């Protein structure tokens, strides 16, 4: 009965294991399908949405700081409470934005149980820049070459040789 199966081709996926600062596996992975032609578009959208979100938090801070501050119900003033709420909303949006590119729960996997914060955002940016983007650039070039050799004109095929 060996005739009743389909052999799939080798997967062209980038699978990055997530390890702790001590080098121990967390059991989590980020997986990117390197044949996914929309992957660079999702990366670009992440950068654009991130820029908008940063502008949003700056605007919130300006608006909150322009208001007259009043004593809060507890320890913090009303403006301090509102600023903390805005920052929390900013972080929630950032998680959503980054997960569009990193995949489902990608940020949570990278945080490994730690809370989101400014330092953690910077860490995630560095991971994307140093560990993921170089591999995507190499793959983008391979995809473009495949497109040119497969669908290009005879002249463009000769140029690649």
Mean pLDDT by 10 residues, the chain (161 residues): 67 86 93 85 94 97 94 88 96 97 96 94 94 78 74 55 47
User: pLDDT (tens digit, 9 = 90+) per residue, 71-89?
Assistant: 877 899 999 999 999 999 9
What is the value of pTM for the model shown? 0.78
Return the DSSP state at 114: P
The domain limits of the chain are 38-138
Do residues 12 and 143 lie in contact, with contact meaning Cβ atoms separated by under 8 Å?
no
Instruction: Tell me the two tokens of residue 77.
Output: 């003033």
46 contacts: CB under 8 Å, gap ≥ 6: 97, 98, 100, 101
């Amino acid at each position: 009965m060996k005739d009743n199966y389909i052999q799939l081709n080798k997967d062209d996926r980038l699978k990055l294991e997530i390890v702790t600062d001590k080098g121990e596996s967390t059991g989590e992975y980020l997986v990117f399908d390197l044949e996914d032609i929309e992957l660079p578009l999702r990366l670009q959208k992440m950068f654009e949405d991130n820029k908008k979100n940063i502008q949003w938090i700056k605007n919130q801070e300006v608006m909150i700081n322009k208001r007259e501050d009043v004593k809060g119900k507890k320890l913090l003033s009303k403006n301090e409470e509102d600023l903390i709420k805005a920052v929390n909303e900013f972080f929630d949006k950032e998680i959503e934005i980054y997960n569009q590119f990193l995949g489902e729960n990608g940020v949570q996997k990278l945080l490994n149980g730690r809370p989101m914060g400014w330092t953690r955002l910077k860490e995630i940016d560095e991971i994307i820049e140093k560990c993921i983007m170089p591999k995507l650039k190499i793959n983008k070039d391979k995809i473009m070459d495949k497109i040119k050799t497969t669908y290009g004109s005879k002249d463009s095929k000769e140029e690649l040789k």
